Structure 1
Amino acid sequence: MGKKIASLEDAPADAALIRQVIARAGHECVTFRESRRLLLALRDAGFDLLLLDWQMPDLSGREVLAWVRTHLDRRVPVMFLTCRDAEHDIVNALTGGADDYMVKPVRQAELAARIECLLRRACPAYLAPHAPLRLGDYAFDCATRQVTCNGHPVGLTPKEFDLAVLLFRNEGRIVTRDHITAAVWGREISPMSRTIDTHVSRVRSKLGLHAAHGLRLTPVYTHG
């Protein structure tokens, strides 16, 4: 399954090339030409990887990194893609929480390889979507699409199973409604629809997601 990647880049040619590389790798790229627009988007939407240019017209990429590491899940990988090649800049970014640093001009094959490497590290199930999943008292067999709790089978519909796997693979993270919609339904769902809420409620009830089983499913207002 393709991932959603945010690219902070104000140079049109570089932005287009980055989108091309990401699209060829089978992922979705959303370009932001202003740092503040990216920060606003990060409050509402989930991204699997952030690519940051350093020199931006408003807030620098380094300032964006500081905000991200303060407010977002630290497991979301961040990579700098910038013209700044001084050693102290690279060290500053990496010690500030960046996971990788690549100096422009963009080398397409290298960028694609670095992106895949970061996604593999951040998402262990990325290359093995059918690998068994165990968490707390729960075990998911993604090949046969069966789930058990303390060894007892739990009956889930196909959509409920997909939703449960998505939530369990993102344990400890906020999963946004947009991410759920794209990953489970593969299409847009009206904001007024109760489809997602209904399925989340059923998954919570059927799996008994409460402290006694070591896991809880909790809504986060305005986020997911």
Structure 2
Amino acid sequence: MKQGALATGFFLIAYDEPGGRPGLAPDLLACGLVGAQLGDLVTAGALTVDEEDRVVATRRTGDPEPAGRAATLVLDSVAHEARAHPVRAWADVLGEPLLGAVRDELVRQGVLVAETGRSLLGRRRDRLAVADRSAAHGPGLALRDMVRRPGTCTLHGAFTLALVSALGVERLLEPEIDRARVRDLARDAVVHLPAPLARLHSGVAAAAAAASLAVRR
């Protein structure tokens, strides 16, 4: 998965084509999208996660502008805060607006198309349909291929795999890939991630655990 596309890639990995919508609970989807977009900006050098697990803007004047509305939304939100906040706080705040930005970006790119229909009871039903099958299935296929051939692993692929495992949603890669193998490779990947990405991974895992606990209550 290439730089600049981690959030859209994660959305497509989580996308349930028959249902026309993401196949994850909203809180987990929010954690994943925020984690993916933060990871993209960390690898690009625009953000970092410090030793106190706070997200900090590191972009300097004159650096290239982030590509896309999702990246701009996250970077501006972090940069304009008077003090730094942990990953979990950003997952709570940015999940919903980031979902809209990522979804709109995929529609703009022509990967998905928004459709409106009616259920059997006559209720309005909005869904996303695949417009470009190759692009829609590409991120999931690339991640599965990386799991099968770990020697082809890239930094962005390793972080995406670690993100899937942090959320506990290894099932997204089934039936082709066994959950236990995903967990094992994700553990190895985390060990080799740069320190800011490893701290980001921990923050996403904590946010996902808190979201799961809230649901169980």
TM tier relative to shorter chain: under 0.3
Q: TM-score, normalising length from structure 2? A: 0.27
Q: Name the one with the larger helix percent.
A: 2
Give the greater-gyration-radius structure (CA).
1
TM-score for the superposition, normalised by structure 1: 0.26
Task: Name the one with the larger strand percent.
Answer: 1
Q: Which has the higher contact order (CA 8 A, sep 6+)?
A: 2
